[in-house]
Amino acid sequence: MGVKVKGVSAAQARLDAVVDNIVSRKALRAIHSALLLGGAQAAVYTPIDTSNLINSQYRDVFMSGTRITGRVGYSANYAVYVHDPDIRQNFTRTTAKKEFLTKGFDDMREQIAAVVKKELSL
């Protein structure tokens, strides 16, 4: 004695769409949180002379299919030269470091992992 149920496949499709939407929103929020943490620490390490460099920091998030990519950078023309460890410079700010962007994210690695884990938990 079997019972036919209608609409199961449509319900599954709608449920999959809802789950995908939630997962993509959580993933985006996790990426944004990670960029905020790393960017904030990089700002601490950024040399300040005229504040042009530190004020030129930006964050971008790109979605390409299932891949989400986050990027933090500086739009000031000379940011590459200040960041380059092979170019010697003397900084007046005590927290300023060469490779400030890389070191900022490296120092925040554990906190970033914790925030991403928290954001993606169900």
pLDDT, tens only, 12-51:
888 888 777 777 788 899 999 999 999 999 999 999 988 8
- Express each pLDDT in 75-108 by its tens digit: 999 999 999 999 999 998 999 999 999 999 999 9
**Is residue 52 packed enough to be buried (19+ CB in 10 Å), middle (13-18) or exposed (0-12)?**
middle
Tally of CB atoms within 10 A around 35:
19
Q: How is 5-40 classified by DSSP, letter by letter?
A: -SSHHHHHHHHHHHHHHHHHHHHHHHHHHHHHHHHH
pTM above 0.85, yes or no: no
